[in-house]
Structure 1
């Protein structure tokens, strides 16, 4: 279900409830239940990027035994260790970079690109208020990051990942006007909350046999160790690390 189809369904249900209520054929409990159901659907759609509820999202691979590596929240000093592991295994990755982080670490941003990886937009500030921002602020966060990333790297930005994977009607409306492909994931490592490398690895390992887009964070030191194990496992089990650019058409800039 998409947001537009949900709106149509909700209008139909509202009219039906109003009619049945007027006829005395439905109780307030049913009305409250329908409202709570609507709130639950909206909440799920907002928090689950791969649901495609508010905007089309590329979140899953179709071919078997493939993995796309993605990293959020850099560039960061720890990104250098991540790059070292990727270079060792000749593995491509996509880094969703925060604009202000790129301004602080332009050399790392350019190393990401020079080593053959993709840079995507992860907003200018990665604000904790992202899901509550007005459309104007949402547009600024995305466009300002694109401007800074392109200026610093000399490369066009084609891909975007919203902070926390959160979308809503305002964010979706802005994204539909921008020449960016929205990239999600179907395997979330949770490396920002699971700090023990072995526990993190045990969470990821059983899920690697499914073709996935995995979400890591290049800001986390323990992710370096888990990335090494992930790449070694993929190599020994015939899982190919593929580039995002090989799996999705690059949007053209207006």
Structure 2
């Protein structure tokens, strides 16, 4: 073979090897990129689309319900039943309680827990029995991380619209049994969906050995405003003894991302102002279990 031909074939083989190696590197890079994209979509899908059978809120989302007139104002109920119905704790100390409703929710509860852990702050979680059954591992995590669990009914009905005394008892007992199976105690604290109750329902809850926990500060996070608005709703209205209403759960179409972000503003600001975060039982000096 002539020298020119040897040089020519050497160049051809070299070029082929070069393109092959380059192609492998590109494919490998593409696989990594696709892997990153896939991971991002998996995370998004996990948040936006909880697993099949995710229990929705029986009474519907907060917005249309909370816009309605309350059957009996919480302040009136607190005045009528001062040993049963609570809106806040003592104003003698700069202590406040963060409370979260409608969980456990696999899209948001873990992120709320992460923020609370970051600031070493305890919370009180009013859980739905149906969601506790669906996600017992999240319930266990809430308990293991030192937070208190309360009862928020089983399927989140509007107790005033569609319940009688018997239905209330069924809803509360079913949720209580579900929670007891997971955490090993029967909660002493109850929060009604939407804050809606009337006299007879409060009296029945008292018979069932529950304390009813309302709130003195509403973050209005259920409106899904920007984080700074949610934070302002809390910070502008907080006072010693405050019970702060927030949500770690939402309906199927709801989003609590802004709630999570707002905690990064609310917690350090109140800590800088000298407030101590405690659980509701600590704030009220009551037991958390029956």
- TM-score, scaled to structure 1: 0.77
CA contact (8 A) 2:78 2:87 kept: no
After superposition, residues 224-235 of structure 1 pair within 5 angstroms as 224-235=260-271
| Equivalence for 2:52 | none
Query: Which runs of 5 or more residues in structure 1 are unaligned?
Result: 1-42
Moved more, 130-139 or 111-120: 130-139
Q: Distance in 2 between matches of 1:211 and 1:116?
A: 20
| Equivalence for 1:188 | 218
Whether 1:203 and 2:233 are equivalent positions in the alignment is: yes
Query: Which runs of 5 or more residues in structure 2 are unaligned?
Result: 1-68, 250-255
State the shift of 1:54 in Å: 5.9
After superposition, residues 58-73 of structure 1 pair within 5 angstroms as 58-62=86-90, 63-73=92-102
104, 125, 128: which one pairs with 1:98?
Answer: 128
Runs in 1 of length 4+ with deviation above 6 angstroms? Answer: none
Whether 1:79 and 2:109 are equivalent positions in the alignment is: yes
CA contact (8 A) 1:130 1:138 kept: no
| Equivalence for 1:240 | 276
| Equivalence for 2:58 | none
Structure with higher Rg: it is 2
| Equivalence for 2:189 | 159
CA contact (8 A) 2:187 2:289 kept: no
Q: Deviations over 1:30-71 (max 9, x none)?
A: xxxxxxxxxxxxx76624267425643121122232110100
After superposition, residues 119-158 of structure 1 pair within 5 angstroms as 119-128=149-158, 130-158=160-188
Q: Distance in 1 between matches of 2:80 and 2:167?
A: 18
CA 100–54 in structure 1, closer or farther in 2 if over 3 Å, else same? farther
Q: Deviations over 1:2-49 (max 9, x none)?
A: xxxxxxxxxxxxxxxxxxxxxxxxxxxxxxxxxxxxxxxxx7662426
After superposition, residues 32-43 of structure 1 pair within 5 angstroms as none
215, 236, 241: which one pairs with 2:245?
Answer: 215
CA 138–209 in structure 1, closer or farther in 2 if over 3 Å, else same? closer
CA 194–54 in structure 1, closer or farther in 2 if over 3 Å, else same? farther
3-state secondary structure, aligned to 1:91: coil
| Equivalence for 1:18 | none
3-state secondary structure, aligned to 1:64: coil
Q: Distance in 2 between matches of 1:125 and 1:176?
A: 21
Q: For the aligned residues, what is the CA RMSD?
A: 2.0
3-state secondary structure, aligned to 2:86: coil
- TM-score, scaled to structure 2: 0.68
How many residue pairs align between the two structures?
A: 211
Whether 1:112 and 2:120 are equivalent positions in the alignment is: no
| Equivalence for 1:249 | 286
State the shift of 1:235 in Å: 1.6
3-state secondary structure, aligned to 2:185: coil
Q: Distance in 2 between matches of 1:146 and 1:239?
A: 32
75, 78, 90: which one pairs with 1:52?
Answer: 78
